[in-house]
Amino acid sequence: MNIPAAVLPFQALFAMSESTQTEVFAYLGFLGSGRPILNSDEAVRPAPQGAIVQDEENPADFTVAMARRLIADPISPKSLAVLRVIAESETPQFHLKDAVAAAPETESYSDLKGAWSGLTRRTRKILGDGTAELIWWDKEAIYDGETYVDHVGRVSPLTHQSLRTVLKR
């Protein structure tokens, strides 16, 4: 399909109002963080085409467009169930026990090993970054005495909102 398009240099957004910046980024699949997306005091160095610059202190950021690629077919029912649990969480944090309960044919956390590795591979492929992580896990598991009970994971706020949007939560 051939549709006329306009090219807008990233730095041109400096001269635009905050509301225009927000509209442009929303159209492109980016979600605002409650602050101006750009301001003239910030140095803007666009990432390579299709890439998002990752903060080493947070899990990977996925825009709505990237989240659509993350859930695109083919995807296993277990992986999709995990992503739904993350999207349904009220915050970017979620509980492993909820993912285990939601995933088909899953009785323990070890039954999700393939889902986690599949999501990690897909995350790295989408981002073009062999070290990117979709999910960060708290270092400490939750135990009841010596019995493993749960683990808390989290995704970035942008990824959480993007998954909620794509999965209609």
pLDDT in tens, 66-122: 999 999 989 999 999 999 999 999 999 999 999 999 999 999 989 999 999 999 999
Residue tagged 């083919």 (tokens): 74
Cβ atoms of 63 and 52 within 8 Å: the answer is: yes
**107 vs 56, residue with greater confidence:** 107
Rounded distance, CA 166 to CA 169, Å?
A: 8
Q: What's the pTM value of the predicted model, to 2 decimals?
A: 0.66
pLDDT value at residue 117: 95
| Cα–Cα separations (whole angstroms), residue 92 to 2, 8, 45, 87, 147 | 38, 32, 27, 8, 26
- DSSP letter, residue 143: E
Q: How far apart are the C-alpha atoms of 95 and 35, rounded to whole Å?
A: 29
- Give the whole-number percent of the chain exceeding pLDDT 70: 70
Percent of the chain with pLDDT over 90: 55
Q: What confidence tier does 24 reach under pLDDT thresholds 50, 70, 90?
A: confident
With beta carbons less than 8 A apart as the criterion, state whether 133 and 120 touch.
yes
State the pairing for strand pair 93-95/142-144: unpaired
DSSP 37: S
Residues 54, 132 contacting (CB under 8 angstroms): yes
Model confidence at 158: pLDDT above 70: yes
CA dihedral 155, 58, 66, 73 (to 10 degrees): -50
